[in-house]
Amino acid sequence: MSILEALNKEKIIAILRNVPEKKLDETAIALNRGGIKLIEVTMNSEGALQAINRWKSLFSNKMIIGAGTVLNLQMAKEAISAGADFLITPNLDEEVVSYSIDQGVVIWPGVMTPSEMVRAWEAGAEAVKLFPAGLLGIDYIKDVKGPLDSIPIIATGGVNLQNIKTFLEAGVLGVGLGSSLVDKKLIEENRFDDLTNLARKYVTAVNQESSRL
């Protein structure tokens, strides 16, 4: 199964941004116990590269490990060297897309406009990250999916437990979940069992929607 196929099945990418370095592993373990199979740590997080490298061994075949907020070619090189299975960017940089593809690493670049979506697709990206999806809204996604239905969209920003089903109904391939899933308060208070339970709620919501669709 390819990484894109795994995302199509699982629907959720957990985004760890600025989680304290000493709690990165506990957080990832808690999310995985809750059923999360795709996870990214953003490159502007302390200890991101070390975490990616550790998790490749720690989780083996249990999770697919990615690097997020990959802003430029140097970051892409560092993330790939650390062992990232996929890269996600907040912006569209064709040089980064091209390099990642040449290295055999999946990349989902950040886009907002139809023009950026087409540019990313023509550069070789298998899917695009629509950001900020919450601000753009469901109607925007439905509208761009009309003419651009061949380009898989990952909705990121503003997706939560209350609206995740609506985003999936709109036809997105998957969603990126930051603070709505990776709850900083739970992590700060070491309530990792509660974090696992929160992850299970998201996974259950996705499974229910997938069976309905």
Distance CA 201, CA 24 (A): 21
Structure tokens at 65: 């490990």
Instruction: Say which of 9, 129, 185, 209 is annotated catalytic.
Output: 129
The CB density around residue 102, as the number of other CB atoms within 10 Å, is 9
Q: Compute the CA torsion angle 173, 174, 175, 181 (nearest 10 deg).
A: 160
Q: Write the CB contacts of 194 (distance below 8 Å, at least 6 apart in sequence).
A: 183, 186
Instruction: Say which of 23, 40, 94, 209 is annotated catalytic.
Output: 40
Whether 94 is a known active-site residue: answer no
Q: Give the residue among 3, 208, 198 at the shortest CA–CA distance from 100.
A: 3
Whether 40 is a known active-site residue: answer yes
Q: Give the residue among 108, 41, 102 at the shortest CA–CA distance from 77.
A: 102
| Dihedral pair phi/psi, residue 115, rounded to 5° | -60, -45
Catalytically annotated residues = 40, 129
